Chains A and B, each alone.
Chain A
């Protein structure tokens, strides 16, 4: 069976690769911790948090979860539906702005 033969090989990558990714995850986590520790504020804070978050997520998915070596159709089957979540986020940001404005208009700053 050619099918199981390809699988017996599995995801064979040098251990060093995993150690490097592991080290990077540590560094990036430390960076996001220090964003809070040094109390960075405003746009700088949010852009750094999101940058470190996306880098970490990317490393985990691409290397640890082996997505970098998967079939393109599997990759698309996973990543395309997730873009729907981003649309949902955008909708809810607009909705919460509207709710906030209504609350301020009708209830003052009470609830």
Chain B
């Protein structure tokens, strides 16, 4: 009898859906999010905190731009490039966006092949992702150099509101730093995948925990987040 009740309880517990599943998760004596590993939960919590940091930057940019009485430079013209004699508005930013989206695509496929335990394809796709990420940072370096040559500084610029410079360097700089660290992170995990660490459950050098292919997914969460932030920067900074 007691056993039957227990089994029934257990089935309702595992089959809980909707709000009930939230209640069972948070009241469970195991871990907060059932079937979500700590590694993944912690990466999400880190990304949530990062969301707040980027939000504060974008909101302060918005506040500066909306409250200044001086005209704001037109990003469409500022970020135009002259290719073959014609001036294309925002072309560099468009290419950067496509490069970053492509890197997100290859990353998503790397995660997929990781769970299929296809060591080589996973590692190669991660290296392609890292290469696209490095390309993005390179183009950003070019963009910065060009603007610095044109006289943009954190305290001013030739076309209007001084806050344009500080917002630009802060927001794109912080995002570029994220991409750079992401490339580093990608190379570290790609090396582990290539070496077969996740097939042989080799223990990590720093944590001495057994590696799993889930690390590729956790790494992917970080990478997709960087792409996600760029979606907002693209819309608010370059298209507004």
Number of interface residues of A (CB under 8 A): 63
Q: Is the CB of B66 within 8 A of A100?
A: yes
Q: Is the CB of B224 within 8 A of A65?
A: yes
Q: Is the CB of B105 within 8 A of A22?
A: yes
Number of interface residues of B (CB under 8 A): 65
Q: Is the CB of A60 within 8 A of B69?
A: no
How many inter-chain contacts with C-beta < 8 Å in the A-B complex? 169
Kindly report which residue of chain A lies nearest to residue B76, judged by CB atoms.
A36
Kindly report which residue of chain A lies nearest to residue B34, judged by CB atoms.
A71
Instruction: Flag whether B139 is at the interface (Cβ < 8 A).
Output: no
Residues on B with beta carbons closer than 8 Å to the beta carbon of A46: 240
Specify which of B25, B89, B114, B217 is in contact with A66 (CB 8 Å cutoff): B217
- Would you call the interface of chain A mostly helix, strand, loop, or mixed? helix
Kindly report which residue of chain B lies nearest to residue A91, judged by CB atoms.
B59
Shortest Cβ gap from A65 to chain B (Å): 5
Specify which of B55, B101, B240 is in contact with A26 (CB 8 Å cutoff): B101
Q: Is the CB of B239 within 8 A of A36?
A: yes
Shortest Cβ gap from A107 to chain B (Å): 7
Kindly report which residue of chain A lies nearest to residue B90, judged by CB atoms.
A36
Kindly report which residue of chain A lies nearest to residue B24, judged by CB atoms.
A73
Q: Given the known inter-chain contacts A71-B21, A78-B44, please indicate yes or no for A92 contacting B239, CB distance below 8 A.
A: no
